[in-house]
Structure 1
Amino acid sequence: MSTPKIAIIFYTTYGTNHAMALEAQKAAEAAGAEVRLRRFAETAPDEVVQGQEAWAAQLDKMQDIQEVSHDDMVWADGYFISAPTRYGNMPSQVRAFIDTLGGLWQEGKLVNKTISATTSAQTLHGGHETTLWSLYVSAMHWGCIIVPPGYADPLKFEDGGNPYGYSTQAGGFDETGKRSVAFQAQRLVEVTAKLAG
């Protein structure tokens, strides 16, 4: 089997999804994938970001991580996306990038890529599942193959049990969560390797 190429792409405001992306990167590389870690561009007005010390500090912390590009989307065999929920949906920063992919979609350059996603929300029931669904709906339009964790490992009964993708409360990414993200990333690599091979 060939070495699968995985783009791990995240958006974060205060750091939870950044932490999940780093855990996914470590697990995907350990599973034998070639990985590109990328972040969605921050599109919020600078005065809004700078008006919240924690948000500004997190953005500053990530300046060495490249923003995701169309080249990354074409390069990858599979995508691991981590983004928080906004009113039960993906953040506008993620949507803004997705909305630029029409040309790649029309050329069929996103077809048969794999995808798996994780999320976080401020509350226990703040749109975890619908955020993941919204990401997957876009991916279905591209012709992607969704690789959810399902209940393929007993760990899913310990981590909150979201079969669509790991989710947690903001700031609540614990050791069980790390194991769950690692499992999900490894599963994505394994399935992608089979398809890409």
Structure 2
Amino acid sequence: MVKVNIIFHSVHAHTYRMAEAVAEGAREVEGAEVVVYQVPETLPQEVLEKMGAIETKKLFAHIPVVTRDMYKEVLAGADAVIFGSPTRYGNMTAQMRTVLDGLGSLWNENAFVGKVGSVFTSSGTQHGGQESTILTFHVTLLHLGMIIVGLPYSETRQNRIDEITGGSPYGASTIAGIDGSRQPSENELEMARYQGRHVTRIAKKIAGK
């Protein structure tokens, strides 16, 4: 079995829906064991209420939360980890950053060296820092010693200009709209599925499984 874990942060469920699509693609690869996790939410309940996120959070309340005591098994124990984070001013969210900042002891053990890492994202506007979020995320993965996999141009859906769509060679993405009302399009979801398959196939080859 090749073990692929998908770790995401989401508020209004856009990144969650992309995570599920990534998982769908990964599960198409024979011998793949795929599990989806979410990172702990650090925003206070009253802030989530003001953001209108209480109901959207319920959509993925069934997804297990990765806690510090799970890092070794869930993160370092996988052949590939695919991370999903909304963009915040061109960077990953603080919630995702908190998890990565907690990997120091595993980094010190070289626990991630040779593992496959990949990233997908979402933003409120068409550009909105999607590429910079993924690229700056890659910096951390490189420090961990991971092998970065993006979304190659063999996934031709990222070439579309007949509709608004996310997606770049760095990774799949979706555009949520300023008010969060736009849901991931089928084009964006298909790119996420492609990324899931692509990462899993590469992880399988590297792991010799």
Q: CA deviation at 1:120?
A: 0.8
For 1:162, the equivalent position in structure 2 comes to 168
Matches within 5 A, 1:1-197: 3-32=1-30, 33-53=32-52, 55-68=53-66, 69-70=70-71, 71-158=73-160, 159-160=165-166, 162-170=168-176, 171-197=182-208
Distance in 2, matches of 1:161 and 1:20, equals: 11
Deviations 1:25-74 (A, max 9, x none): 11111213101110011011222112333x11122332221112302012
Change in 2 beyond 3 A, CA 1:43/1:160:
closer
Q: Distance in 2 between matches of 1:150 and 1:86?
A: 25
Q: TM-score with structure 2 length normalisation?
A: 0.88
Give the letter for the 2:61 counterpart. Q
Q: Is the 8 A contact 2:173 2:192 kept in 1?
A: no
Give 1:184 shift. Answer: 0.8
SS at match of 1:129: helix
Structure 1 gaps, min length 5: none
Output the CA distance in 2 between the equivalents of 1:175 and 1:87. Answer: 26
- 1:134 & 1:115 partners in 2: Cα distance? 13
2 CA distance for matches of 1:161 and 1:48? 30
Count of matched residue positions in the alignment of Structure 1 and Structure 2: 194
Q: Separation in 2 of the partners of 1:172 and 1:134?
A: 25
Flag the 1:44–1:160 CA change in 2: closer, same or farther, 3 A: closer
Give the distance between the partners of 1:160 and 1:151, measured in 2 at CA: 14
Residue identity in the other structure for 1:95:
R
Instruction: For residues 112-154 of structure 1, give each alpha carbon's deviation from its aligned partner in whole angstroms, at most 9, with x where no partner exists.
Output: 1101111111111210001001211100000000011121232
Provide the aligned C-alpha RMSD in A: 1.3
Stretches of 4+ aligned residues off by more than 6 angstroms: none
How far apart are 1:161 and its partner, in Å?
Answer: 5.2
Identical-residue share of aligned pairs (%): 34
